[in-house]
Amino acid sequence: MRKIEAMDGVVGVIIGRSYGGKSLGQGIPTGGIKVQRKISGGLKAVTQSAKGLQEIFIRTDAGMEEAVAEAILKI
């Protein structure tokens, strides 16, 4: 989360729902982030924890959604 918050164009990270179950999010390593879609004001994403999935909303500066999504893929 701190790496994302430190990226250029990121205003903040809002933590959403958590879904338990080790079978959720298979294919995403623990700590991995998958951007689901771009929406007005930022990015909807999920991160894999040891116990399941955690929804997050990445608030971005206007027009920075694509650049931030590409930077997340490189983490």
Instruction: Report pLDDT for 30.
Output: 80
pLDDT value of residue 24:
57
Q: What is the pTM of this model?
A: 0.85
Q: What is the pLDDT of residue 21?
A: 67
Give, rounded to a whole angstrom, the gap between the first and last alpha carbons of the chain: 11
Q: List the chain domain ranges.
A: 2-73
pLDDT value of position 19? 87
Distances in whole angstroms, Cα of residue 24 to Cα of each of 21, 45, 46, 65: 6, 14, 11, 26
Please give the Cα distance from 7 to 33 (Å, whole number): 14
Beta bridge partners of 15: 56
The pair of structure tokens assigned to 7 is 């990226």
Q: What is the pLDDT of residue 69?
A: 96
- Which ranges of the chain have pLDDT less than 70? 21-27
45-32-55-58 Cα dihedral, nearest 10 degrees: -50
pLDDT of residue 31: 83
